[in-house]
Structure 1
Amino acid sequence: MDLIAAGGSLLIMLIAIYILAIMTDEYFIPSLDHISGLLKLPSNVAGASLMAMGSSAPELAIAMTALFQGSGEHSDVGIGTIVGSAVFNILVITGASALARPAKITLSVVLRDCLVYVTSIVLLLITFSDGKIHPFEALTFLLLYAFYLLILYKWNSWFPEETLAAAEHGEEENKQSQDATELSPGNIMGSLKHWLIKFLGIFAGEVEKSYLRVFFVSIAVIIGLSWVLVKSVIIFGDATAIPPVIVALTLLAAGTSAPDMISSVVVARQGRGDMAVANAVGSNIFDILIGLGLPWLIAMGMGMMTGGHIFVEVGTANLLSSTLVLLGTVFVLFIFLYTERTLSRKEGGILIFLYLIYVLWIVLWG
């Protein structure tokens, strides 16, 4: 084992993840929020499209850069990050939110999102079955997400009371998420974050004055940091003899999802645990359908233009088992939510314990 290469790449990964979280939360998501306001999108549609893109930007960018940066198991780093992040979101984010405060849920909303989510996972399993992703499969991912957005748009007229409640919850969640990221002047990490935000702001600007500049600079920084992360994962895997996809399924997935977990716990403590659960499932739908479907379709389009392959090869050895685990977690979560319409602290603890078992299994036998 090359300890210097392993330690150096791990340190670079942690730094890149930290800067990535700040860039996404402080600049990219606010610019998307500003754009959704200008477009006057319904709150649930904006949340499932632009805002979901904001919270899932790291995973999407990593999937894109990994696909074009490497081949074989290296290109599977992006898929591993998204699948691992999805497992983390369902088990850890919802579990931690329930531990902070039990969450009462709206069954119809959970049923809606879980049905779309299960369909997404089944579609993913089908595409993994032969180790190749074909154009019509990637296109199906995008079409299913478009159908999901259509359902959300129509949901306003079907269940107006739920839509109003969700909007109120969303406004309070945004406020509480901002409160969660407020800086403490006497805190070392707070001071570091303060100066880092100032430094990034030199290039990005201010959302209110130049939201398009902030938007495009944020995308450029996120893509650049994702490239660094993918390279670091490959170097770490080579130095430790751990397959890069295993590192992506665990370390990289948890790292990119950790900021969402912190904000979800803060929201849950304020009595909005239902929003934490809904956002975890909704974010996973975006990650799978757009985070995988879009990079695959772009890669195949470029392959057609350059006379190369019109399919994408994926190594399914580690990914297939994790995707099956992902399917199982949805049913466990739904059973917990369906029985009492509440996610209790005990059930939250069970979900986190299941994630620890999953990580142990992946590392030792994955």
Structure 2
Amino acid sequence: MALILYCLALIISFYLLAEVSDRYFVVSLDKIAERLKMSHEMAGATLMAIGSSAPELFVAIISLIRAGDHAAIGVGTIVGSALFNILVIIGASAVVRSARLMWQPVVRDFIFYALSVAALFTVLRDGLITWVESLFLIIFYGGYLLTVMNWKRLFNHADGDLMDDGYEEPALRGWKKIFIPLHFVLRKLFPNPKRYILTFMFSIGAIAFLCWVLVESAIGISLILEIPEVVIALTVLAIGTSIPDMVSSVIVARQGRGGMAVSNAVGSNIFDILIGLGFPWLIITVVEDKPILTHAEGLNESVILLFASVALIFITFVISRWRVNKKLGYTLIFIYAAYLVREIVGLYY
């Protein structure tokens, strides 16, 4: 009975995370970016990255501050989410609509992403996280932001893809109708979207609460099924927390903004690794005045796979002259499916 309740809590939390992030949090951040007169690239690298990566960030924070030794949940969620983003989100975006990418921002983001993965591998190698390593990750993200701000001075390119104004978000249909009561509750709880500052604050609170439910449910399922927490994080939590990224990327890909979909996936991964892990680690190591034991040595193989997938996709983009199509999309999704099967089979053999 407890297992069924934990699974229901996971499903409902995943759905609510997608709705809160997509309908309220990201929208309020977009309004804040307009108010601050931020460029599309700067807003995407900062506010939009925070919006789409908030679930992973909160899972990492909660897994560290919760009583017990659960640091591997946060690390596993972010590594698994990074794999999902780079393979499934880019793959699904390519499947729904072919596109030609602007190479300049793609090259920039892939270079920083590869360096971020290399930094993560180095930090996790001994299973201990110090405040110096945490601070380095955060400073590195600051270097990424400075590069984003000045990249167009070095390489002149357009600010974004062309928009297809004819696209409309689909209404709730079929199985989604079972979530109508949840939509009613959200509409009653959240303020008018025009009050975007208040909406932003409500969204933060809702995401934090839902991520707490996710962590507690993941720990409960792990104990009942006797599955390592890191495996639950790499698979179930990683996919669930990536749903907001998946929804927004597929929508913009259908609108003909394939470049934005790719940038969202890669940019979110950069934020996840450098801030989603670096910031909680820095706070805990400074407050407790001792290194964090992650028990995440087993993630090294997944991190290596992540780096290999980045190299594969980048080389494919170069060969295809920065075009993405259905063939590439299905290939990336197949690779991720094979990875999931391998992780699950590895539990029993």
The TM tier, using the shorter chain, reads over 0.9
Picking from 334, 343, 359, the partner of 2:314 is 334
Corresponding residue for residue 363 of structure 1? 344
Residue identity matched to 1:314: T
Q: Is the 8 A contact 2:104 2:155 kept in 1?
A: no
Picking from 177, 188, 196, the partner of 1:202 is 188
For 1:160 and 1:136, how far apart are their aligned partners in 2?
A: 36
Corresponding residue for residue 288 of structure 2? 303
Q: Is the 8 A contact 2:230 2:296 kept in 1?
A: no
Q: Is the 8 A contact 1:85 1:253 kept in 2?
A: yes
Corresponding residue for residue 143 of structure 1? 139
For 2:327 and 2:21, how far apart are their aligned partners in 1?
A: 32
Q: Deviations over 1:78-130 (max 9, x none)?
A: 11111101000111111111122223122222211111001000000110111
Residue identity matched to 2:26: I
Counterparts of residues 181-192 of structure 1 (less than 5 Å): 182-184=170-172, 189-190=176-177, 192=179
Does residue 206 of structure 2 align to residue 218 of structure 1?
Answer: no
Does residue 335 of structure 2 align to residue 347 of structure 1?
Answer: no
Q: Deviations over 1:173-197 (max 9, x none)?
A: 8x788x33x434x65625734x534
For 2:55 and 2:201, how far apart are their aligned partners in 1?
A: 15
Residue identity matched to 1:274: G
Q: Is the 8 A contact 1:66 1:77 kept in 2?
A: yes
Q: Is the 8 A contact 2:75 2:296 kept in 1?
A: no
Picking from 15, 39, 43, the partner of 2:40 is 43
For 1:25 and 1:57, how far apart are their aligned partners in 2?
A: 11
Deviation for aligned residue 1:335? 1.2
Corresponding residue for residue 98 of structure 1? 94
For 1:153 and 1:190, how far apart are their aligned partners in 2?
A: 43
Corresponding residue for residue 9 of structure 1? 6
Residue identity matched to 1:59: E
- Aligned Cα root-mean-square deviation (Å): 2.0
Q: Deviations over 1:122-150 (max 9, x none)?
A: 00011011111111111111111111111
Corresponding residue for residue 248 of structure 2? 263
Q: Is the 8 A contact 1:176 1:267 kept in 2?
A: no
Corresponding residue for residue 279 of structure 1? 264
Please identify, of 140-149 and 151-160, the stretch whose mean Cα deviation from structure 2 is larger.
151-160
Aligned length: 346
The residue matched to 1:162 in structure 2 has which SS? coil
Deviation for aligned residue 1:321? 1.4
| Structure-2-length-normalised TM-score | 0.93
| Structure-1-length-normalised TM-score | 0.89
Corresponding residue for residue 118 of structure 1? 114
Deviation for aligned residue 1:260? 2.5
For 1:10 and 1:237, how far apart are their aligned partners in 2?
A: 11
- Matched-pair identity in %: 41
Q: Is the 8 A contact 1:96 1:265 kept in 2?
A: yes
Corresponding residue for residue 28 of structure 1? 25
Corresponding residue for residue 232 of structure 2? 247
Q: Is the 8 A contact 2:17 2:244 kept in 1?
A: no
The residue matched to 1:40 in structure 2 has which SS? coil
Corresponding residue for residue 219 of structure 2? 234
* Structure 1: gaps of 5 or more residues: none
Picking from 275, 281, 286, the partner of 1:290 is 275
Residue identity matched to 2:171: L
Corresponding residue for residue 56 of structure 1? 53
Please identify, of 198-207 and 19-28, the stretch whose mean Cα deviation from structure 2 is larger.
198-207
